[in-house]
Structure 1
């Protein structure tokens, strides 16, 4: 069972995004681009805050965003880099050939 959407005191919707909201955001950004995340929800016809729209776009809706598992080549590259670098976070090695 899905909870009913919650609106805060400013009238902004909280909680899960509906497919209609995703479509509105996707079509608006496709047509006009993302120029100001604070004003975008108003012009796109969404009752969301700009941060919510930005996060939804960056983490779920961008066309170039890859969903799913790694390919065999990507998996092999990850394993090779882990052998070379371990768990180190600093990008010391720039060439792995």
Structure 2
């Protein structure tokens, strides 16, 4: 089996993000903000697509992004709301 290339036909990098790429994205957004995700990689010096940058920021790098297990209070809230509202 052949390993897939890490760069697609458009020259966009695929696969895991490096610490250097994370730092570039974090620094650019903290300095200029995120005004246009499709153009951001070009100005930030990344060879990624805008969607990849947006997802990386929202899910991993954004300050206050909560990851991990639910707290006991959050679990209780989910159970209570499911009992009240059902699956809708």
TM-score over 0.5 (shorter chain): yes
Structure richer in strand, relative to its length: 1
CA RMSD of aligned residues (A): 1.7
Ranked by relative contact order (alpha carbons within 8 Å, sequence separation 6 or more), the top structure is: 2
Q: Note the residue ranges of structure 1 that are not aligned, 5 or more in a row.
A: 89-97
CA deviations on 1:18-63 (whole Å, 9 max, x unpaired) are 1111111111101110011111111111010111111111222111
Stretches of 4+ moved more than 3 A in 1? none
Structure ranking higher in helix proportion? 2
Aligned match of 1:74: 74
Partner of 2:31: 31
Q: Structure 2 CA distance, aligned partners of 1:76 and 1:5?
A: 45
Return the TM-score normalized by structure 1: 0.79
> Greater Rg, structure 1 or structure 2?
1
**1:64 — aligned with what?**
64
How far did 1:5 drift? 6.3
How many residue pairs are counted as aligned between the two chains?
A: 86
Alpha-carbon shift at residue 10 of structure 1 (Å): 2.3
Q: 2:54 is matched with which residue?
A: 54
TM-score norm. by structure 2 comes to: 0.86
Where does residue 92 of structure 1 map in the other structure?
Answer: none
Secondary structure in 2 aligned to 1:7?
A: coil
Unaligned 5+ segments in structure 2 are none
